[in-house]
């Protein structure tokens, strides 16, 4: 099919795409513990039907013991054609309290060219993008297609380990992860790096029980004060991560503006940004560290007492090139060494997830750049993602020959994981066209 035909086909199918998306958004497929398993299963079945409707006749559920099923399927391309694996996920984050939503989370509602609803962007837009790109070829794509739509991306995913234990079904020449977005609406963007994750749990115990701060305060170290002194050493005076031995590098893609960062992160007026290097460096090429949890008495009604025990969870984002497990060990070592006055503390190493950096000089990237240019009418940029997608690193390991492309319709205004999540319908249309063109160009 020619470029113009694909463009017309995508434009024509948008009402159908929208219907497909809305159908999926209506099912509350939250995968986190404590939520019912039935809606994810219903969504998986709806995804099977959707894939069948675009020509993936063998679309089916792959059951995963103790987890939500993954939807898989494939289409044979012409003899000798390369293989492209399309990945997205159908599970969603919990909606959070109703009050925050301007329209109900699971009732897709259009406002100003965007469809609002939990999962409208993350990542049901990715599911319909893949389906629509296949629909554009009327069931006869120019490449061999494998589809993997998982149901546990937002929770402890069984697929992460499955990929490493069963690499065969994931072999491909190109893997398209449809679960990111442009840095701004209509600014074509390839996400080429992901930071990894390194987590430590810190516990401090100094007294048998809470005791009166008037009678005992002074000589005895208060556990919370010990912990605070430790945590305060994680950043230096400039606001850079102070853990020694960590690697970082200089970012060479999109120069993410301070203004955009402030706006999308919601940094309050007057609050300075911290750390050194460009915003892109700090987001994608350097480590960052956050205390993500702290056990301490509630401030409201707090008694005048020394705190016997305190605990914190420290989470570090790790740039590509830095081994995540080594980073976790360095973090643990730093925390132990930072305990004041010789107080004994317990540091337990938690989760570690590898960072990822895509090779961007292969045929797949060439085809993707060309596809984006033709779909959007402008050159694409490369950006990193500060977060982690553990599956991507595992796919890179399991299918070392595959190029990995990350893109999609999750622009910053999509507010994924927040109230009023949404997808821009025009942006989705551009993404679908770009993906259809990618399949075409990659086959040539
Ligand atoms: Zn996602």
Q: Do the beta carbons of residue 210 and residue 286 sit within 8 Å?
A: no
* Superfamily the domain 3-194+355-443 falls into: Zn peptidases (3.40.630.10)
The Å distance, Cα 108 to ligand 1 centre, comes to 18
Nearest to 389, CA basis, from 153, 122, 130, 158: 153
pTM greater than the 0.85 cutoff: yes
End-to-end CA distance of the chain: 12
Architecture of domain 197-248+286-353: 2-Layer Sandwich (3.30)
- CA atoms in the 13 A half-sphere facing the CB of 269: 0
Residues 6 or more apart from 183 whose CB is under 8 A from it? 189, 254, 256, 260, 381, 383, 411, 412
Beta-ladder partners of 400: none
Residue 14: its pLDDT value, please? 98
Residue 240: its pLDDT value, please? 98
Q: What are the residue numbers of the active site?
A: 91, 153
Q: List Cα–Cα distances, 346 to 290, 309, 313, in angstroms.
A: 18, 11, 12
The Å distance, Cα 355 to ligand 1 centre, comes to 17
Residue 361: its pLDDT value, please? 95
The Å distance, Cα 409 to ligand 1 centre, comes to 11
Residue 318: its pLDDT value, please? 95
The Å distance, Cα 121 to ligand 1 centre, comes to 8
Ranges under pLDDT 50 in the chain: none
pLDDT digits (tens, 9 = 90+) for 140-195: 999 999 999 999 999 989 999 999 999 999 999 999 999 999 999 999 999 999 99
pLDDT digits (tens, 9 = 90+) for 347-405: 999 999 899 999 999 999 999 999 999 999 999 999 998 877 889 999 999 999 999 99
The Å distance, Cα 57 to ligand 1 centre, comes to 26
Helix (H) or strand (E) holding 289: strand 288-295
Nearest to 28, CA basis, from 10, 46, 53, 8: 46
253-262 core/surface letters (b: 16 or more CB in 10 A; e: else): bbebeeeebe
Residue 231: its pLDDT value, please? 98
The Å distance, Cα 244 to ligand 1 centre, comes to 32
Residue 403: its pLDDT value, please? 98
Sequence spans of domains, the chain: 3-194+355-443, 197-248+286-353
Residues 6 or more apart from 415 whose CB is under 8 A from it? 121, 421, 422
């Amino acid at each position: 099919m020619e470029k113009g035909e694909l463009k017309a086909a995508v434009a024509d199918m948008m009402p159908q795409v929208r219907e497909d998306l809305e159908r999926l958004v209506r099912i509350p497929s939250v995968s986190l513990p404590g939520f019912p398993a039935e809606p994810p299963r219903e969504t998986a079945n709806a995804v099977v039907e959707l894939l069948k409707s675009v020509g993936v006749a063998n679309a089916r559920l792959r059951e995963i013991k103790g987890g939500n099923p993954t939807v898989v399927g494939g289409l044979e391309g012409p003899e000798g054609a390369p293989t492209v694996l399309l990945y997205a996920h159908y599970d969603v984050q919990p909606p959070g309290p109703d009050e925050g939503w301007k329209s109900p989370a699971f009732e897709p509602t259009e406002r100003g060219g965007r469809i609002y609803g939990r999962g409208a962007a993350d990542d049901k837009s990715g599911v319909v993008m893949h389906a629509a790109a296949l629909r554009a070829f009327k069931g006869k794509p120019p490449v061999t297609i494998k589809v993997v739509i998982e149901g546990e991306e937002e929770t402890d995913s069984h697929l992460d380990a499955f990929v490493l234990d069963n690499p065969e079904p994931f072999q491909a020449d190109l893997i398209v992860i449809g679960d990111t977005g442009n840095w701004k609406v209509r600014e074509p963007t390839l996400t080429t790096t992901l930071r990894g994750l390194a987590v430590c749990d810190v516990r401090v115990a100094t007294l048998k029980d809470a005791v009166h701060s008037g009678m005992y305060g002074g000589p005895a170290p208060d556990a919370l004060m010990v912990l605070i002194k430790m945590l305060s050493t994680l950043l230096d005076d400039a606001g850079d991560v102070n853990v020694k031995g960590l690697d970082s590098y200089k970012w060479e893609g999109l120069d993410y503006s301070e203004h955009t960062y402030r706006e999308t992160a919601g940094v309050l007026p007057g609050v300075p940004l911290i750390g050194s290097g460009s915003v892109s460096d700090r987001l994608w090429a350097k480590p960052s560290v956050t205390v993500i949890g702290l056990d301490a008495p509630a401030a409201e009604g707090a008694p005048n007492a020394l705190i016997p025990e305190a605990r914190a969870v420290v989470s570090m984002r790790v740039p590509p090139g830095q081994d995540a497990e080594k980073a976790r060990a360095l973090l643990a070592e730093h925390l132990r060494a930072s305990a004041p006055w010789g107080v004994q503390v317990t540091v337990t190493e938690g989760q570690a997830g590898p960072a990822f950096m895509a090779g961007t000089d292969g045929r797949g990237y060439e085809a993707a750049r060309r596809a984006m240019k033709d779909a959007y009418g402008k050159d694409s940029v490369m950006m990193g993602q500060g977060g982690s997608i553990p599956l991507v690193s595992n796919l890179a390991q399991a299918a070392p020959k595959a190029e990995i492309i990350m893109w999609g319709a999750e622009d910053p205004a999509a507010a994924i994981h927040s109230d009023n999540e949404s997808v821009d319908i025009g942006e989705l249309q551009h993404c679908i066209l770009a993906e259809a063109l990618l399949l075409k160009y990659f086959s040539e």
